[in-house]
Amino acid sequence: MAARSRVANLTEGTIWKELVLFALPLMASNLFQQLYNTADSLVVGRFVGSTALAAVGSTGSITGLVIAFFMGMGTGSGVVISQYYGARDYDNLHKSVHTAVALAIAFGIGLAIIGVILTPYMLRWMGTPDDVMGQATEYLSIYFIGIISLTVYNIGSGILRAVGDSKRPLYYLIVAGITNVVLNLVFVIVFNMGVAGVAWATIASQVLSSILVIANLMRSQGPFRLVLKDIRFHKSILLQIAKIGLPAGVQSMVISLSNIVIQSRINLFGSAAMAGHSAASRIDSFVYMPLNAISLATTTFVAQNLGARKMDRVKKGTTTSILLGLGVTIAVGWIAALISEPLIRLFSDEQPVIDYGVQSLRIRCITYFLFVFTDVLAGVIRGSGNAVVPMTISMVNMCFVRILWLIVAMQFWYDYNVVVFSYPLTWGLASLCYFIYYKKGNWLKKWKEANGVS
């Protein structure tokens, strides 16, 4: 019973309160998750140099692309687990948990092999400058060696979130985040290991967080308890996960691909632009955290309540999430825009780097509210088990339109700001599409048909 008290039943209680209480630990978890890359950037920017900062920053879009497909499958796992948990179908819940962990192990091994082999080719394709290439290759190759710890942690923490526990993943990330910061400083300052030091520090902290979350699942007395000998693929469950996870994975990969295209355009403006954009992206990730937490909470909320057949509560929760998202993105984003210069100076004292970073950060943070409908409504629709529509909307707007803008607009205005403006442009268009689809109600109709609800 003690284990069950740590999980939240989102099918009951005051909606805004349940969403906020569930989202707050998620936001804090995102905070410590971002400490990995941000600590890397801060340490190399301050103690190694702007070239090293550019090298570490330029790898972000590649790691995002390579792990995006797996993260989509993780989304599928979470939705399936949440719906079975909401329906109190503990037999299928058990199968879902063990299929998800098997998926994490398989993907972790596969991504490590693919990532190490393709690293230099991907960096060359992005047009990475020669003065950055060596350090970027070194950092990324080491990162991929330990990526299985990241896949296992994300699935493990996703299982806990799916059943309403957003606190324990936070505790494990706090421990891992502090470990990462300490090891970064030791490896770079004491042992003078450069970008390799921050890469190994990241792996060590990720291994620690994955061990903690798996140990917790194994000790749990709830219906989601992990039993090592039961880890295997259950075909019917795997097909359910794939139905949601494959489109979500393709969507994430395509968006990550568009970010690589953006990075390749940023690279045209030199290492100072790369370093400035990298610093802005690290800060941007913190600005995005509250909205991302609300979106994740909404997905779990919708999946659990649909499993419990509480459709009216789903609609009220969606409206509440949108209002919460608009409030936090405007408040946090505009504050970050106002203090953008001192924030960028945390990463570098070089004026060209600061100038590029401030430009990028201000454009994105002021317009972040445009992304609210995209993130929240995508979470709602996925929570209903429909991942094809979010994939289609995001692919068209966040990839094709974004790439088209970069190709066409830069023919007329060869300017750094033109590249950065691709973010708010596509956020707004995607949000409009999501809003129209949500209001038409097809997502709920399809769920009712699939589950025999009149």
Per-residue pLDDT tens digits for 31-48: 776 666 666 677 777 777
Total tally of structural domains belonging to the chain? 1
Asked if the structure places residue 278 within a domain, the reply is yes
pLDDT level of residue 227 (50, 70, 90 thresholds) = very high
Asked if the structure places residue 7 within a domain, the reply is no
The tens digit of pLDDT for each residue in 268-310 reads 888 888 888 888 888 888 888 889 889 888 988 888 888 888 8
Which residue is associated with the tokens 């905070």?
31
230 pLDDT more than 90: yes
454 pLDDT more than 80: no
Could you tell me the sign of the dihedral formed by the alpha carbons of 156, 170, 91, 447, in that order?
A: negative
Asked if the structure places residue 3 within a domain, the reply is no
Most confident of 58-62, 244-248, 304-308: 304-308
How far is residue 105's CA from residue 232's CA, in Å, rounded to a whole number? 10
How far is residue 162's CA from residue 166's CA, in Å, rounded to a whole number? 9
Average pLDDT, the chain: 84
**Helix or strand run (H / E) with residue 417:** helix 416-420
The tens digit of pLDDT for each residue in 350-404 reads 888 899 989 999 999 999 999 999 989 988 988 887 878 888 888 888 888 988 9
Asked if the structure places residue 2 within a domain, the reply is no
Asked if the structure places residue 210 within a domain, the reply is yes
Q: Which residue segment(s) compose the domain that 338 sits in?
A: 12-449
Burial of residue 178, with CB atoms counted within 10 A of its CB: 0-12 exposed, 13-18 middle, 19 or more buried: middle
How far is residue 361's CA from residue 370's CA, in Å, rounded to a whole number? 15
How far is residue 360's CA from residue 348's CA, in Å, rounded to a whole number? 15
pLDDT of residue 265: 85
Asked if the structure places residue 6 within a domain, the reply is no
pLDDT level of residue 4 (50, 70, 90 thresholds) = very low
Which residue type, as a one-letter code, is found at position 121?
Answer: Y
Closest by CA position to 275, among listed 8, 10, 48: 48
pLDDT of residue 122: 80
Average confidence (pLDDT) over 303-325: 89
